[in-house]
Structures are given as structure tokens and as C-alpha cells.
A and B are shown apart, each in its own frame.
Chain A
Amino acid sequence: MAEPVEIRSRELFERLVTRAEALPILDVRNQDEFAAWRIEGRRPLRYLNVPYFGFIDEPERNAERVEREGDRWIAVCAKGDSSAFVADILRERGLHAVNLAGGMEAWGNLHVPVRVRSAADRLELWQINRYGKGCLSYLIRAAGEAIVVDASRHLDVYEQLLDENGARLVQVLDTHIHADHLSGGAELARRRGAGYYVAAGEGFDLRKDVAPPGGLTIDIRSIATPGHTPGSTCYLIDGRWLLSGDTIFVSGIGRPDLGGHVEAWARALFATLHRGVLSTLRDDVVVLPAHFASPDELDQDGVVQRRLGDIRAKSPELALSAEAAFVEAMRRAVKPPPEVYQHIIAANLSPSHVPDEKASEWELGKNQCAASAPSAARC
């Protein structure tokens, strides 16, 4: 049987993440794009970056160069067409080159639902992992009712989970107005006749404030956690799982500088972390965040989760117990966000529809929502 000439993003995920294979990656995008964002697996991968235009100018020389590095490759580009062109050239030389169908765009759009195993029997919890971008969303189901939190614009995955599990969607929540990806929350709620809620503190009056969870079988409590954004909200499920949005990640905290008011928002974040309700939660509450930065953050079941106590013990940002030192660390960690973030925020604040092509262009790349304060521990 002939070897496959292409691999789909879901299958590549199974091999690189679920099975932790170390497949070599030939990335044919230009150097800047490769440096900014690449395919990652559970194990470190071998990469070779040879831009595709080299195969137009000097196919022989570049194919030889690839061959010297190895004879098996997954070829990757932005959308999957240039890498298909390169893979053809390599296969003609007798190499085993398999093209990633749809390229990085498909990789960034792949959503994989993972059941959170420790959830109680009467309550089912899925973490939907948009692995390439490092975005996480959630579906909670109990007694035929469901809540979705931080839905992306790719609604198929949520609708399929709802249909397969016979659940009626009652609420769609966003923990905050996202800057790195477009929310699908309002549209999902509209399609399913559910309510859509974002905290009013996010600075708009189109949508309602978070409703009290009355009438639901799911025990969900909203906790105001300003800092990453003024209206950021965490949701405590069953008193045991904290959907922490971009406030706390398993290895750090959300950056408070995306709104251009780093001092004020950093003070709010400090209060959230050290004086608010969040600080009173028990150490054994399990944090389920809206992002991860590295594949290392996935546990053995493929879930991004960690006990709050472990995060408290290991996060240098949370160890800064003096407000002034915390604010200073956040101030020094300020970095300009990707330019498209302002467009994404504006789109998420308005009900206007963004065409798919534009949305894909805006959403390219990994999220940059975490505060990176490498010097924080030394402050």
C-alpha cells in the first residue's frame, strides 16, 4: 500500500501528544513565522526550517540539505499548500515526506475535548483543548443541563458534545473579554436558546451581568477576580473545580498589561490574589485555566489542571506577597501585545460577525495572555 501523502491535524495531535511520538518537523514557512510559533508535542521534537521558496529557486540543493538531516519528515507551512509542494519534491527523491493538511491554520483550529477524569459522577466536565493556540474551554453537564465556558468561534465541538450527551445548553459564560481569540459564546447561546453572560465590568452594556446560578442543577458560583481585565470572573464548580480564566494558570498568572493600565490592573490583580475570595479557597481546589503556555502543563491524562495549593507553592508571581514588589514586577514584565489583539477585543465586545478568513488571520499564533516575570522570584 502506498504511504499516505498527508496527515490531518487531529491525527498529528494523536501521534505527537496522546502517543508522545517524536516526529521530525520540516517547517517551510519563513524564519520569523517559524520562530514565533511552531508545532509542539509532548516530547521535544526535531525541527528543520527551510522556507519553501528555497525549493522553487534551488530544489536540488535544498532537498539534499533536508535529506542530510533525515529521511522522514512531517512538512508544515501556514496553510498546507506550500508544504504539499515541498513534500512532493522530497518524495520524488525517495524521502518519506507527509504533508500536514491545512498547515498551521488547521493546527491552530484543532479542538480536542478531554474528559476531566476526577469529576464527580453526577457531574461531567470536559476540557476542550485548542492545543495549537494553547486555549482551553469547558463544558459542564449535570442532569441533562449544560454550561459552556469560554467557547471559541469553532462551535462544532461544543454542539457535538451537547448532542452526543443529550444535554440542554442553559448558559454560556465568558470569564472575560478575550484578546487572543474570538469568542463563540454569543453565537453558541443564540443557536441553542441559552443565555450568554460576561461580567458587566468588562466595559460594555450590550450584555447582562453574570446571572445568579439559580434554577440550575449545576452548582456554579461566580467569583469576581479583576486584574487580567476589570471584569474577569472565575467560576467555582461544585466547590471543587475553579474555571480560572486568565487569572491563574497552572504555571503562573494572567498578564495585567493588556489594557494599557498596568499599575491599576496589577493592583487589582494583587488584591484578587491575596485579599479576595480567591485567596480564601482551599488548597485542594483544582484550577482549570483558559490557557496553557507549554505542553509540559498537560498531565498524564492530557488535562491542563493543578491543585491551587501547588500553584500557590510554585508560582513566583504568587509568592510576591508585598503589593509594591508585585506591581513593580508586573510593570517590568510589560510587553507590547500582538497588534491584532485590539481588533479581537473590539470584535468580542460587539455583536458583529467577523468573516472566517479574517478571523483565521487574527487568530494565528499561540496565545500571549500570561504574565512573564522571570525576575519576579528575585524581587
Chain B
Amino acid sequence: MEKVLDARGLKCPMPIVKAKKELEALGPSDVLKVLATDKGSVLDMQGWAKANKHVSLIKQTTESDETGREVYVHYLSRLA
């Protein structure tokens, strides 16, 4: 299952605060797709996944949404 967390427009620390909460409710084979507009989220998600042994960062991409905003997309999963 893939769950989407729309954190567009949110400033840090909120994307990670919300992602942590969502991840805790997911099963081990689920994927959390986080949409963020804060560019700082790219390095921060990497740092978070490195520091927290229960968080795995699968991949990151950059896309444009319908309003032309750059959106940083992070795919996360929970490690036991």
C-alpha cells in the first residue's frame, strides 16, 4: 500500500513531524509518499533516515505540481 502525505506549503519541522506520525501507523511493507515544497526537506529527510534506524528513505524525486510549484517527493518506509 502507498499512502500519500501532502505536506506542501508546510515549513519544517512539520513535514518530518507528520511523516513520523504517519509512518508509525503503517505496516512494514507500506510506502509513505511525502509531498513537500520546502527544498530543505531533501537534505533533512536524508539526515533523518540516517539518524533514525526505523526510517528508510527509498528514493527522492522532484516534480512540478499543477500550480507550477516545485515539489520534493520523498518515499519512506518503516523498518522494524
Q: Which chain A residues have a beta carbon within 8 Å of chain B's beta carbons?
A: 30-33, 51-57, 77-79, 81-82, 85, 361
Distance in Å from the Cβ of B34 to the closest Cβ of chain A? Answer: 13
Pair A56/B12 contact, Cβ less than 8 Å: no
**A31-B46 Cα distance, complex, nearest whole Å:** 11
Nearest-neighbour CB distance to chain A for B39, whole angstroms, equals: 6
B80 to nearest A CB, angstroms?
16
B47 close to A79 (CB less than 8 A) = no
Chain A residues with Cβ below 8 Å from B46 are: 30
8 contacts between A and B (CB under 8 A): A32-B47, A52-B13, A53-B47, A55-B13, A56-B20, A57-B52, A77-B12, A81-B11
Known contacts A32-B43, A33-B43, A79-B40; decide if A51 and B13 are in contact (CB<8 Å). Answer: no
Residues of A within 8 A of B20 (CB): 56-57
Number of cross-chain contacts by CB at 8 Å: 46
- How far does the Cβ of A240 sit from chain B's closest Cβ, in whole Å? 45
Closest CB of chain A to B10's CB: distance in Å?
A: 9
The answer on a CB contact under 8 Å between A78 and B12 is yes
Instruction: Please tell me if the beta carbons of A53 and B44 are within 8 angstroms of each other in the complex.
Output: yes
Q: Are A56 and B43 in contact (CB under 8 A)?
A: no
A82 cross-chain contacts in B, Cβ below 8 A: 12-13
Give complex CA distance A76, B44 in Å: 15
Bound together, the chains give a CA A81 to CA B44 distance in angstroms of 14
> Complex formed: what's the CA distance from A81 to B43 in Å?
16
**Which chain B positions have C-beta within 8 A of A79?**
11-12, 40
List the B side residues contacting A361 at CB < 8 Å.
39
Q: A52-B44, A81-B11 known; 20 other A-B pairs, CB under 8 Å?
A: A30-B47, A32-B43, A32-B47, A51-B47, A51-B51, A52-B16, A53-B16, A53-B44, A53-B47, A53-B48, A53-B52, A54-B51, A56-B13, A56-B17, A57-B20, A57-B51, A78-B40, A79-B40, A81-B13, A82-B13
